[in-house]
A and B are shown apart, each in its own frame.
Chain A
């Protein structure tokens, strides 16, 4: 059954606001371990959901099936039944004729390269890694490729489609020296295999892994801490996630009642860029609202919360294109957030530090950050900074500070550094603020 027929059947039953979302997903995975193809898998999935607004109530039904295999009467009764019991009367669908940026991060050539050729390329990576050092004891290379089509249609005539394909190469290696065993992994994502530079990738992976074998230790105490670009990007996302207007309405966000106020220091400008023409490109949100690049925090001043259709009506502002359907609930999330870089180079920041830590990994963020008040205590790894130079690797340490204070009290923000293929972020310096404790103390 085609969706237009379904829409007209709903209309005949007195239901006029319907949304349809379809996700076609094909993926390929293989993995090389100990010089052999270890496993291989392919997924071919076609999922969809239909949501309705009945008496201003949003209800939804999800299927791991195509429309051809779905009985209309069952959909209708499930949606009507749910709407009877849902109390929340704040649902609506997007009806405004809008302009959408047209760009598909889709490379037809990727699917034309044979699986054998892709496997041969990964074996080349494997061989290159083996040549680097006899301290490398195990190599596991995982290749993942996804091709997906997201479709959004609603009864107000909005019909949108986005095609994406990309591959991910993720290599994990085990290095050892004497009794020390360490692991390291490096990831690369794109949709053009020509952009994959084996030498550069292998060097980055192995250099970091081998540096981990030169372990040092620090005493417990308060240190100058430099957060690496990867960590800055990660914590900026956590920080901005709390701008969710639903949390503001429910008064469970730290940013409640802080719009147009100073919430961070002047060095902090954070931008959401869903329209960057890379694999993070998102032209419309899960309610069909067009997205736009937007400054969220400018020189420390909070400019906007993140809205879906419901919250934008409550706040009497335009929707910001941040609707996100999570577990069948229309929620909100940021897209592609960036902290604006500063002017100082990272080398000049490091040079000023006598005794500090350069943090390269943080583990346990999903459980270790209290987003309500920002407090965190997380397992970390990184490098000791001594007299302006990066020295030994430090692991099994914890870093204790506060998410919101990082942005309030950041001492320096460096120029951008590429920390991941085509992903840029600055480093951030926190002078004598973070408490570090170490297993070796």
Chain B
């Protein structure tokens, strides 16, 4: 634990030139990963990281600095360097610290770091072997297991002292196949809270589905290119909502009027069929946290209710510009990044239709079963997403698999164009990269149908 006296001394120093708030974030992280390539253990990575981030606010200006030198003199220099950005005299005192009670929403029965390495290696090699044996077309299987254990403390001049720890385990599988000089690959990612949860993942079923999609890709033709109806698959399909809408609801762009959704609270921004949440409180979920990186409790935030914009994701600093308080949505990758408003577990709530009904009601279109990633310009709302696994839909039936599809559009148009929402909500874990670094997030949605999106692919049909 960081020395409270030192914390108070540094926070006071930060306030010397008239700042009204100061904060110290202290972090210790152990990271380990094991990479298995075609049943050969290629890499074991150990990373030990510790560092401190200092943040100071004066009204609507924030200054930030970080270091991994814990020497008191060095912290003094950093605090002084940061506070010198303001000119004035001290008018805020650092309050005495009150320890925050943190409610734990994670149950870790068996920690990754207490699990023998032999057990993890056996799991990886076995997984590689199982996958390789499924098809002669598979020429490479890369499985990776990793975990990080983070302890962190937050002290601020308002008297907050919060301590928490986080541990997450991720498993990635990458399969490559070759047929007649044609190569394709498929990727999936799984998460666990505890090594005892390994049993809960039905790897057999997941692998079979991955291989079936991969072999389908080897035989697939390029996707036709045109505007068409697109059915976006549940789970990972939520990436589109996360990127195209979620980022535009973060205070980091809303507070500066840099978002297409700035100043739009309580107005209709999407189809009435859409209700969406960001919920950082889901027990044991990949994107959850007990507290955010400012020490606020995480919350379940209703973003959109029946098409009406209800809330933004707000951190304390950007909240100042918006006249609102942070709502537990402030996150950072580590001490090297200044924290800001970010998503956690973001999802569209279940609707009424079954997948079968949605397909049956579609005369012609694309079924984007799995989206790999993309990006969005939150100012214009323009986005692009690559589709990993896709099928054509003709006359209400799923037909041939196609590849190379790219979805392109403007987020507001897409949200308004959603005309069917399924009842099959599933979450999918991933890593989201933005200004405060790479953080674990869950995307989620039931199957949805968008009346019209520009699909990039091969020549028109």
Contact = CB atoms under 8 A, between A and B. Distances in A.
Does chain A bind chain B? yes
Given A64-B47, A329-B42, A379-B406, 16 more contacts: A39-B61, A42-B78, A43-B66, A44-B69, A45-B68, A87-B42, A174-B258, A250-B37, A250-B139, A378-B384, A398-B455, A400-B456, A400-B457, A437-B454, A439-B454, A441-B227
A435 B459 contact: yes
B253 to A, nearest CB: 11
Interface in B24-71: 33-35, 37, 40-51, 61-69
Interface residues of B, number: 76
A441 B409 CA distance: 13
B373 interface: yes
Given A40-B85, A400-B404, A437 B44 contact: no
B43 A86 contact: yes
Interface string A210-226: 00000000001110000
Contacts of A364: 374-375, 384-386, 406
Interface in B419-461: 454-460
B460 A372 contact: no
B46 A62 contact: yes
B296 interface: no
Interface string B336-374: 101000000000000000000000000000000000111
B81 interface: yes
Given A43-B67, A222-B459, A398-B408, A370 B184 contact: yes
B44 to A, nearest CB: 4
Contacts of A372: 176, 183-185
Interface in A296-340: 327-329
A202 interface: no
A156 interface: no
Contacts of B201: none
Interface in A39-56: 39-47
12 contacts: A43-B67, A44-B65, A66-B69, A85-B34, A85-B41, A252-B140, A252-B183, A377-B456, A398-B406, A398-B408, A400-B458, A439-B227
Contacts of B117: 81, 85
Contacts of B385: 364, 367
Nearest 10 CB-CB pairings of A with B: A398-B456, A372-B183, A379-B384, A64-B49, A328-B45, A367-B386, A41-B64, A437-B225, A82-B44, A377-B456
B178 to A, nearest CB: 7
A33 interface: yes
Contacts of B460: 220-221, 437
A45 B33 CA distance: 23
Interface of B: 33-35, 37, 40-51, 61-69, 74, 78, 81-82, 85, 117-118, 121, 139-140, 176, 178, 182-185, 222-223, 225-227, 256-258, 336, 338, 372-375, 377, 379-380, 382, 384-386, 403-406, 408-410, 454-460
Category for how many chain A residues contact B: 35 or more
A366 interface: yes
Contact of A46 (B41, B46, B68, B404): B68
B65 to A, nearest CB: 4
Contacts of A387: none
Contacts of A86: 41-44
Contacts, number: 215
Nearest to B452: A439
A36 B256 CA distance: 12
A408 interface: no
B176 A87 contact: no
A62 B405 contact: no
Interface in A148-205: 174, 181-183
A59 interface: yes
A250 B140 contact: yes
B64 A377 contact: no
A344 B379 CA distance: 39
Contacts of B47: 61-64, 328
Contacts of A221: 459-460
Given A183-B379, A251-B139, A364-B374, A43 B336 contact: yes
A164 to B, nearest CB: 19
B456 A378 contact: yes
A183 B357 CA distance: 40
B375 A363 contact: yes
Given A183-B379, A378-B456, A46 B69 contact: yes
B333 to A, nearest CB: 13
Point out which of B78, B223, B456 has the most chain A C-beta atoms below 10 A from its C-beta: B456
